[in-house]
Amino acid sequence: MAIPITVLGAGSFGTCLAILCAHDHDVRIWARDSALAEALNRERRNPNYLSEVRIPENVRATADLEEALTGSELVICAVPSHGVRDVMSRAAPVLPDGALVVSTVKGLELGSWMRMEQVLQDVLAPAHHARFVFLSGPSFAKEVAAGQPTAVTLACRQESFAISVQASISRPWFRCYSATDVVGVEIGGALKNVVAIAVGICDGLGLGHNARAGVMTRGLREITRLGAALGADPMTFLGLAGMGDLVLTCTSDLSRNRRVGLALGGGQKLDEIVGAMSEVAEGVRTTTAACVLARRHKIEMPIAEAVQRVLEGEIGVEGAVNQLMSRQLRNENE
């Protein structure tokens, strides 16, 4: 059954989800920039992201949050993690009662170190909290928009709402699985970006496939260790939002976070790398948050800590590799 859907955020993932949902639903997409909203409506393409893909006629862009949200039954938040608090605080007064709120954000909030569920709980009324759904998994926007087969996870503490979203946005090429482990799905989606930076550094240094596999495997161990300390089910990290997203992000050059690592391994400076990117590499911010949470919960995350030291300029990439490889020998399960 067709329902009115709103997508908040006109970046690559917001644009691809608007195109995806428009196959069965009328969609409004909110852009922060009014000029971009006008261009989307006029040209039927996003000039900044996925410009090769036509935007269907039943997608309407606006820079007015109230216009975007009025009457919506499904609201998809697809803005960078650092913008979620501001955008959803502004959306709160006009968010329709009973609307399902889907977060596609793979990051942690700097300063508060909150997951997106916690940020949403902070800024939206309690009546909305049960209807928060979190989408994660291996899903590059370019491939979703092109109709290439993709599988993702939708997590909600009350699974019936995840199943409702599942029924609304699944397509023959976009398969959604439901889950209830919100913490695990969010932590997996956020922290795989940190590991992708580490893998990119190794590849940028030309350290070989053995190193890549080792960092991915030990990185997954770190993600699982922290996730479990925060209350996640360790099995979640063997699924789409864990290992699935980790493999994709660490091995494809479409990954922004991997590209940051590759450039660091190639000798470039972080400011130059980030300044040249048109979209946010969430792992740069998430690394700091991950290390803070690890210390708070007395969890060892040596790969994340090494990435943080590189990002902050405390150590060079070769020094970080040497530091990791010379750590005290121990049992693999520690």
Q: How far apart are CA 69 and CA 66, in angstroms?
A: 5
Q: How far apart are CA 147 and CA 157, in angstroms?
A: 29
Q: How far apart are CA 325 and CA 2, in angstroms?
A: 55
236: nearest Cα among 299, 292, 177, 293:
177
Helices (H), strands (E): how many in the chain?
16, 8
State the catalytic residues: 192
SS in 3 state form for 160-212?
Answer: HHHHHHHHHHCECCEEEEEECCHHHHHHHHHHHHHHHHHHHHHHHCCCCHHHH
Q: Cβ(311)–Cβ(285) under 8 Å?
A: no
Q: Is 214 exposed, middle or buried (0-12, 13-18, 19+ CB in 10 A)?
A: middle
Residue 78's identity, in one-letter code, is A
